[in-house]
Amino acid sequence: MRALVSIFTALLIGISLYQLSFTWFVNKHEKAMGEKALQQIKRAYPTAATKFPGDKEAAALYQDTLDQLLRKRKQELLDSTADTKITWWGQTYQKAKESELRLGLDLQGGINVTLDIALDGLIKGLANNPKDPQIVKAIERANQLKLNSDQNYIALFATAFKEVNAGARMAPHFANPNNKLANTASDNQVTTFINEQANNAMAQTYEVLRKRIDKFGVAQPTISLDETKGIITVELAGASDPERVRKYLQSTANLQFWEVYTLEQIAGSLQAADKTLEGYLAGGNKVDSLGNIIPDTTSSAKVDSSKMNPLFQKLFPAQPQQDPTSGRVVYSNFIGTSRLQDTGAVNSYLAIPAVRNNFPGNIKFLWGKQERNANGTLIPALNLYAIKTIPGKEGAELEGEAIEDAKQEFDPVTNEVLVTMTMTPAGASTWARMTEKNIGKSIAIVLDDIVYTAPNVQQKIDGGSSRITMGRGTQNRQLVIEEAQDISSILKSGKLEAPAKIVQEQVVGPTLGQAAVKGGILSFAISFAVIFLLMIVYYNTGGWVANIALILNLLFTVGVLSAMGATLTAPGIAGLVLTIGIAVDTNVLIFERIKEELTKGKSYQQAVIDGYKRSMAPVFDAHITNLLTAIILFYFGLGPVLGFATTQIIGIILSLFCGILVSRLISDFWTRKNRHFNYFTPLSRKVFKHAAYKFIELRKKTYMVSFVILALGIGALINGFKYGVEFSGGRSYVVKFDKPTNPEQVRVALEHAFQATPVVKTYGATNQLDITTDYMIEQAGTAGDSVVLNKLYDGLKPFLKEGATHEDFNTKYVQGFKRVDATISDDLKKGAQWATFWSLFIIAAYILLRFRDWRYSLGTIVGLLHDVLVTLAVFSFLKDVMPFSLEVDQHFIAAILTVIGFSMNDKVIVFDRIREYSREMIGADKTTIINKAINDTLSRTIMTSFTVFLTILILFLVGGEVTKGFAFAMLIGVLTGVYSSIFVSAPILVDFGKDKPLGEVPKANTASTPVKPKAPVARKA
């Protein structure tokens, strides 16, 4: 056994060092390239102080330019050295980069998104008639049910179909030769078929997105599919263009070619629609900021001249031009233009049935893509196209299935950026027919309901070739090229059968990432140093065993994370800090037992043997309960919280290996040489020596305290909490100002901009604020984000540097951004509730299985609920008092579950000793047994809790803003865990099942004659 442990330990050391060496080599190479790039920039350009002496503003702008040039040059050097060998064994930079320890976006900046796979579109695609009222109503009902259900979408659709179509069968709506469903198929058979197609569609969506992401250009992309929840999580650490990511991921690659109406053809319809809308609004109907119609039930309003032509106030008709050659009037291929923020209102206007009836029945309105100006900046306006649909057909005459290949090229004459497409033979035939029919007219090339181009057909096009013109991109040509490359990649990757919609998004700037790295490393280093010294001070030379096990545990944890390709996040670093506490706890439990055995007069060798043997039960119990809560957190968590759960799971498993096997290996090696470790110091000999506190006698008073805590917990639920954006839904921005800013003044200023009260709080430094608002959260996508960002900029203008433009605000002041749709926030809240429930339930079941006594499970549940209620009360009643944020978010739930696991450590230690003494102290009453068990384990309880508390306190003080709320909740939980173990859980064993013994009574001692209480007798191993 010793040989096996030695070999396995050596292998783990070798693998971990090998895996982490890639990170060292990559950092060394990147640092060298960074220095080389800096020297080149210094030689090519003067410094800011030299170029603009005395002009601080001009110097700052110039320095920003130099910084951009430096980053660009460094990246060019890294790209050019991708095949350079940088390791001692000949590994290239590119290969080493793929194997280094991955840093999450919260440590290096980047973008994280959660996409919800839309299966309603798949159901429509499988249905014989997607517009059938029975199908439409069932989908609408399924969407409603989804808000409050954890069932998969297909099961909800089946339930909804039966609910809204009483007595109807599903088969007639889906039975056809392609679906291989007979008209006589049962509803269960149809549901099974749709489920199979849904699973295939989700897998296909995942694969298509993975192919796209692989071509995106970030070093270490991460993508994962959760089929149960129907979501895909994507993390692009280092990505810096959120808009490009959104387009890239949400595109369904649904390419269509449509004929279009010009303004000449529908000018009369458009004017009639404007008049109809004017009368509609004047008749007492109001429209909100998004253009949604709100009936006015008060009184009929008089026509206001300023409100005339409401449609044309939002949509500006495209003016015809005169052809200089022929002299005839030429109409644009689009019918009008709207400001970006007005597109929602125009959509709502045109959707009103009375307005819609003025247009031809086959018309469909689509917006064009957002164009760029000569500087490469996006123009805040969109063109509106009127598409001619085909009556009785869902799709276009020519669609994306006809595309065989697509690539980005340049026009040899105009040098414009193009996306060229080659068609299949069948597609080429259809394209030739379409172009011949539309000579002198426009054909719109539409991708995902966005018109990318609508070229005028000059002649019939044979051969199956087509192209999308992207423009020249005069001053920022690279942006246009990237967009064209994205489109060609999307078209080649394939169409998504089940489109994915972004429901949660987080953008972290590199500055925030650097701060998180600094705080994480500092907290980790201080925690390690403090615990290292504490072990030696308290356990003498025995502390070196714990420290060696601790070092190996951390090395193995980080090495395994790197080998698995896992991502280290800021919460992951918090998990590493907690791993220090877990690893030390194992040795504290063992060492305290060895000290007890030595106190009984045993030899060092025998004390070590008995100490390890008798510590196994509480050590395993503590680790298993911690592992169970970590697994539950991993299952229900999303985003960075997964990093914490992953690190904790690995750390717990390795803690068992290092704390039990490795430390025992070291101890045995030393004692075989007729030497021994000292486990006592002058300090540890005195602490809790001869402790004989009467804890159980205080239970009536502590019960009263528990009732007060119960009342406060219920009061907390009534008083409410400050929910983070993950649970409330909304948009959150981290904004860094040039000087310290008063949060209250900012809040008042933004109230006017948003017409609602935002949440404003300091984020780390006094010149950095976290601003959260639910303004326009119901409108997702580019338009909603753009409007909210504009409002934020308008509200914060007085606090920005004079002359700061919107672009300056977006690129220099906004350090991070997060958006969570209401649908996913509801899912996250339900997930958090279920995670807490299952943690309590599974732990109670485990304790029942372990101790075979319902009283131990009851004591556990009551004690854990006590810990949770205290934490909830603090976060509720002190949410507006503390100088830092007490938000209830995913990090808070992670803290609650971790508290549950750690609190179990204390309870298991006490329960295990109570059960042991109940077998040894025959005839003693319950109060005596429980008091002695608590007193004899007091040193272990306090020491284990103290080490965890110390590491969490350090994390709270220096770990950074991301983990501050998590650490504070953990601090409360550790303190209340000790209290509840002694004063809540243990007393329950006395007052419930009074006639039942605390443990199994040995058969040899079942005589009726009572025996006087005696001290526990040491048992030999």
Provide CB contacts within 8 A for 400, sequence distance 6+.
253, 254, 255, 256, 491, 495
- Placement of tokens 């976060």 in the chain: 875
Residue 858 is assigned to a structural domain of this protein:
yes
Assign 3-class secondary structure to 929-992.
Answer: HHHHHHHHCHHHHHHHHHHHHHHHHHHHHHCCCCCHHHHHHHHHHHHHHHHHHHHHHHHHHHHC
Provide CB contacts within 8 A for 46, sequence distance 6+.
none
CB atoms within 10 A of CB 817: 21
Do 241 and 262 belong to one domain? no
Between β-strands 363-368 and 450-453, what pairing exists: parallel, antiparallel or unpaired? parallel
Residue 700 is assigned to a structural domain of this protein:
yes
Sheet-wide strand order for 403-410 = 403-410, 417-423, 465-471
CATH number of the domain that residue 862 is part of:
1.20.1640.10
Q: What confidence tens digit (pLDDT) does each residue in 575-634 have?
A: 777 777 777 778 888 888 888 888 888 888 888 888 888 888 888 887 888 888 888 888
- Are the beta carbons of 955 and 974 closer than 8 angstroms? no
Cα separation, 589 vs 943, whole angstroms: 9
Q: What is the DSSP string of 142-192?
A: HHHHHTT--S-HHHHHHHHHHHHSTT--SHHHH-STTTT--TT--HHHHHH
Cα separation, 405 vs 68, whole angstroms: 36
Q: What is the DSSP string of 233-246?
A: EEEEET---HHHHH
Number of domains in the chain: 5
Do 218 and 333 belong to one domain? no
Q: Which residues of the chain have pLDDT under 50?
A: 288-292, 297, 299-301, 1004-1021
Backbone angles phi, psi at 127, to 5 degrees: -70, 150
Cα separation, 964 vs 961, whole angstroms: 5
Backbone angles phi, psi at 785, to 5 degrees: -60, -40
Q: What is the dihedral of CA 85, 90, 96, 99, to 10 degrees?
A: 170
Do 260 and 248 belong to one domain? no
Of 782, 817, 852, which residue sits at a domain end?
Answer: 817
Alpha-carbon torsion 981, 986, 988, 993, what sign?
positive
Do 64 and 82 belong to one domain? yes
- Are the beta carbons of 951 and 873 closer than 8 angstroms? no
Do 398 and 478 belong to one domain? yes
Q: Tell me the C-alpha to C-alpha distance, in Å, between residue 690 and each of 926, 937, 941, 1012.
A: 20, 11, 15, 21
Cα separation, 178 vs 359, whole angstroms: 36
Write out the two tokens for 727.
């649970």
Cα separation, 980 vs 706, whole angstroms: 9
* Gyration radius of the chain over CA positions: 34
The secondary element (H helix, E strand) that includes residue 338 is strand 336-339
Cα separation, 789 vs 754, whole angstroms: 11
Residue 131 is assigned to a structural domain of this protein:
yes
User: Helices 477-493 and 187-214 sit at what angle, rounded to 10 degrees?
Assistant: 140
Residue 501 is assigned to a structural domain of this protein:
no
Between β-strands 722-723 and 231-237, what pairing exists: parallel, antiparallel or unpaired? unpaired
Do 926 and 972 belong to one domain? yes
The SS3 assignment for 765 reads strand
What count of Cα atoms within 13 Å lies in the side-chain half-sphere of residue 335? 28
Report the chain's terminal Cα–Cα distance, integer Å.
18
Residue type, 427: G
- Are the beta carbons of 796 and 750 closer than 8 angstroms? yes
- Placement of tokens 């101890």 in the chain: 667
Backbone angles phi, psi at 762, to 5 degrees: -70, 140
- Is residue 803 packed enough to be buried (19+ CB in 10 Å), middle (13-18) or exposed (0-12)? exposed
Cα separation, 219 vs 231, whole angstroms: 23
Residue 170 is assigned to a structural domain of this protein:
yes
Residue 286 is assigned to a structural domain of this protein:
no
Cα separation, 561 vs 550, whole angstroms: 17
Predicted pLDDT of residue 989: 86
Q: What is the DSSP string of 579-622?
A: HHHHHHHHHHHHHHHHHHHHHTT--HHHHHHHHHHHHHHHHHHH
Write out the two tokens for 120.
């309603």
Cα separation, 795 vs 605, whole angstroms: 72
Q: What confidence tens digit (pLDDT) does each residue in 835-858 have?
A: 888 888 888 888 888 888 888 888
Do 93 and 160 belong to one domain? no
**Each residue of 948-976: b (16+ CB within 10 Å) or e?**
bbbbbbbbbebbbbbbbbbbbbbbbbbeb
Between β-strands 417-423 and 465-471, what pairing exists: parallel, antiparallel or unpaired? antiparallel
Cα separation, 593 vs 944, whole angstroms: 13
Between β-strands 887-888 and 722-723, what pairing exists: parallel, antiparallel or unpaired? parallel
Do 690 and 703 belong to one domain? yes
Domain that holds residue 146: 117-252
- Are the beta carbons of 899 and 974 closer than 8 angstroms? yes
Residue type, 807: E
Of 68, 100, 132, which residue sits at a domain end?
Answer: 100
Predicted pLDDT of residue 103: 76
Cα separation, 348 vs 779, whole angstroms: 13
Predicted pLDDT of residue 338: 92
Predicted pLDDT of residue 382: 92
Write out the two tokens for 68.
């951009």
Do 91 and 122 belong to one domain? no
The SS3 assignment for 817 reads strand
What count of Cα atoms within 13 Å lies in the side-chain half-sphere of residue 226? 18
Closest to 218 (Cα-Cα) out of 200, 201, 203, 236: 236
Cα separation, 479 vs 485, whole angstroms: 10
Do 632 and 529 belong to one domain? yes
Confidence (pTM): 0.64
Residue 504 is assigned to a structural domain of this protein:
no
Q: What is the DSSP string of 444-497?
A: EEEETTEEEE-PBP-S---SSEEEEEEE--SS-HHHHHHHHHHHHHHHHH---S
Cα separation, 522 vs 520, whole angstroms: 5
Write out the two tokens for 655.
């803690």
Do 147 and 52 belong to one domain? no
Of 495, 518, 537, which residue sits at a domain end?
Answer: 495
Distance of CA 982 to the CA centre of its chain: 37
The dihedral region occupied by 494, where left means phi > 0, alpha psi between -120 and 50, and beta the remainder, is left
Closest to 629 (Cα-Cα) out of 844, 825, 887, 828: 844
Residue 112 is assigned to a structural domain of this protein:
no
Closest to 481 (Cα-Cα) out of 494, 490, 489, 472: 472
Do 659 and 742 belong to one domain? no
- Are the beta carbons of 40 and 74 closer than 8 angstroms? no
